[in-house]
Structure 1
Amino acid sequence: MASLKEVRNRITSVNSTMQITKAMKMVAAAKLRRAQDRIIQMRPYAKKLNELIAQVSQGTEVGASSPYTQVREVKNVLIIMVTSDRGLCGAFNTNVIKAAVAFINENYPTQLEKGNVSVLSLGKKGSEAFARRGIKVDNEFTDIFQRLSFDTAKEAAEKVMAAFAEGTYDEVVLVYNEFKNVATQIIRTEKILPLVSEETEEKTSNTDYIFEPSEEEIILELIPKAIKLSVFKAVLDSNASEHGARMTAMDKATENGGELLKALKIEYNRSRQAAITKEILEIVGGAEALKGA
């Protein structure tokens, strides 16, 4: 049985940890509200823009000739993986990293074997995980959450778009956590380049549109914007999901700390009772010895 001093030290340590987890939960809750509002406001616009792009990009000559809609033989692949910069958010990072690894192994085993799979990490945790696996990692935008805005997401998207247009990559896939609620994040894998799938092309190739000011001007403006918006939406989704996961993890940690604290207090009381009982027995034993003398 642990000494009274050891148990007291453990109780003090657990109390200090619980204060930290409570504070982290409150901070995450405050940040979550703002992040949740941003992604909820973004989704209708992103959805409508993607629907429009899906309809016009391959339904018109200009859209079909865009460098971002060209379907090529897949030799080189880029995975854009969105993780957090910090831990203490439960299985948030682990889940998205595992999903990315499984997706690569399932869909690009040949490219992976040849070393033709690269990862653009938005968030430090993803960069660290894939660097250990020997996969080429671009760390340029690992600090994206330190300066979260459309401009920073646009920079990452423009770099990827330029590489795709030059033929450096033949497919680009986003892997991220989609925010559903505080306790639930859904892993999404979304191919953003080339922009339109063959199924969409078949469904929309016969659609007629009237363009103002001109077909070329509108299509060439909307296609890059839709790609940039997809990256920004994934970052906002992941940001809200991270705060939700951290809030849930810290709440659970505080709850577990409370249970541990109860157990330690019971152990402390038992140890203290045992020490008092031992002292009483020693006193009684001494008194009986004196009587006998």
Structure 2
Amino acid sequence: MANLKEVKERINSVSSTQQITKAMKMVAAAKLRRAQDKIVQMRPYSQKLTSILNNITSGTEGGTDIVYAEERPVSKLLLVSITSDKGLCGAFNSNVLKASMSLTEEHSDKQITVMPVGKKALDFFKKKSFPINSDYAKLFEDVSFEPVREAAEFVMDSFVSGQFDKVILVYNEFKNVATQAVVKEQFLPISKIEQEEGDTKTSQEYIVEPSREYIIEELVPNSLKIQFYKAILDSNASEHGARMTAMSKATDNAAELLKDLKLVYNRTRQAAITNEILEIVAGANALEGN
């Protein structure tokens, strides 16, 4: 059985850790509120833009003259792996990295370039053999539209120039505080809606003003940038939700451990007191015997 000093040191250590995890949980909760508000407000706008974009690019009339919808044989793939800058958020980062590596195995016959977003993805893929573009790895230092727009423009320009034939985003989609789903999303070329014969729900006819060319020139690039920004906001909110959940569980586990340690401490202390009493009684009996 451990002595009293060792048990007391462990109790103090666990108590200090519990205070840290509790503070981190509160910080994550505050950050989550702001990040959640951003993605909740952005999501309907992004979904509607994406729906319009997909309808415009669907069918023989829509996608033939849109450079971002050009489908060609895929030999060069860009994988955008979006993680966080920090850890202590459960399986948040490892799930994205596993999904990213799964994609590289599925496309092992292609030339794959990785664009890591987040320090964890950058550190992970530095140890791999893939070519890396690390110019936009620090997007989470300032989660605002302007730096994300620059990253999206780089990806879009690289696709148009033929540097890449396909672009896939891998990130955590925010569901709620306790749930984040890993998403593998084709960013480019723009996915087209396959409308079945007699199906009138999957496609809509839009009245285009001032002209279809103007809409394509303005709407399509802006919609793609919004889609990229939504992925970043989703990942940001998911990170804080995952960290809040992880720190909450860590705090609860620390409380359980403290309960067990205090029980051990009391038992050890009681055993020590009992031994001292027995020694005193034995000594007294020995003196009486003399």
Aligning the two structures, in what range does the TM-score lie when normalised by the shorter sequence? over 0.9
Aligned CA distance change for structure 1 residues 209 and 279 (closer, same or farther; 3 Å): closer
Which of the numbers 110, 123, 133 marks the counterpart of 1:128?
Answer: 123
Question: Separation in 1 of the partners of 2:8 and 2:195?
Answer: 66
- Where do residues 233-272 of structure 1 align in structure 2 (5 Å cutoff)? 233-272=230-269
| Alpha-carbon distance change, 101 to 163 in structure 1, aligned in 2, over 3 angstroms | same
Counterpart of 2:288 in structure 1: which amino acid? K
Secondary structure at 1:109 match in 2: coil
Rounded Cα–Cα distance in structure 2 between residues aligned with 1:264 and 1:207 = 65
SS in 2 for 1:180: strand
The residue number in structure 1 matching 2:224 is 227
The offset of 1:201, in angstroms, is 11
The answer to whether the 8 A contact 2:171-2:235 is kept is yes
Cα distance, 1:38 vs. partner?
A: 0.8
- Alpha-carbon distance change, 200 to 20 in structure 1, aligned in 2, over 3 angstroms: farther
> For 1:191-202, what aligned pairs fall within 5 Å after superposition?
191-197=186-192, 199=194
**Which residue number corresponds to residue 80 of structure 1?**
80
Indicate whether 1:164 and 2:159 are aligned.
yes
Between 1:52-61 and 1:270-279, the stretch displaced more is 52-61
- Specify which of 174, 180, 183 is matched with residue 175 of structure 2: 180
Indicate how the Cα distance of structure 1 residues 134 and 148 shifts in structure 2: closer, same or farther if over 3 A, else same.
same
Distance across 1 between alignment mates of 2:286 and 2:139: 77
* Deviation of the 1:180 alpha carbon: 0.6
Higher alpha-carbon deviation: 170-179 or 53-62:
53-62
Distance 1:221 1:161 in 2: 14
Helix, strand or coil at the partner of 1:46: helix
2-side partners of 1:74 and 1:179: how far apart?
30
| Gap change, CA 1:125 and 1:220, over 3 Å in 2 | same
Counterpart secondary structure, 1:110: coil
- Please give the alpha-carbon distance, in whole angstroms, between the structure 2 residues aligned to 1:281 and 1:19: 40
Q: Kindly provide the amino acid, as one letter, of the partner of residue 99 in structure 2.
A: A
Counterpart AA for 1:281: L
CA shift, 1:209, in A, is 4.5
Which shows bigger deviation, 2-11 or 280-289?
A: 280-289
Question: Any gaps of 5 or more consecutive residues in structure 1?
Answer: none
| Distance in 2 separating the partners of 1:209 and 1:269 | 76
Secondary structure at the residue paired with 1:179?
A: strand
Partners of 1:209 and 1:260 in 2: how far apart? 62
1:140 to 132, 135, 139: 135
- Determine if contact 1:21/1:253 at 8 Å carries over to the other structure: yes
> How far 1:59 sits from its partner (Å)?
4.8
Paired positions, count: 288
The one-letter code of the counterpart of 1:270 is R
Farther off after superposition, 131-140 or 93-102: 131-140
SS at match of 2:159: helix
Post-superposition offset of 1:103? 2.4
Query: Is the contact made by 1:58 and 1:64 (CA closer than 8 Å) also made in structure 2?
Result: no
Q: CA deviation at 1:200?
A: 6.4
Distance 1:224 1:201, change over 3 A: farther
Q: In structure 2, what is the Cα distance between the partners aligned to 1:189 and 1:181?
A: 19
User: Residue type matched to 2:176 in 1?
Assistant: N
> Shift of the alpha carbon at 1:254?
0.3
**Secondary structure of 1:79's partner?**
strand
Q: Determine the C-alpha separation between the residues in 1 that align with 2:250 and 2:128.
A: 30
Q: Deviations over 1:116-155 (max 9, x none)?
A: 1111111111111222232222222222111111111111
State the Cα distance separating 1:287 from its structure 2 match.
Answer: 1.4
Deviation string, structure 1 residues 236-293 (Cα, Å, up to 9, x no partner): 0011111111110000000000000001101111111111111112112211222222
Within 2, Cα distance between the matches of 1:215 and 1:179? 34
| Aligned position for 1:280 | 277
CA distance in 2, matches of 1:198, 1:52: 11
The CA deviation string for residues 97-129 of structure 1, in whole angstroms up to 9 with x for no partner, is: 1111112212x1212xxxx11111111111112
**Secondary structure of 1:64's match?**
coil
Aligned CA-pair RMSD: 2.1
**Is the Cα–Cα contact under 8 Å of residues 77 and 169 in structure 1 kept in the other structure?**
yes
Deviates more, 1:192-201 or 1:33-42: 192-201
The percent identity for this pair of structures is 55
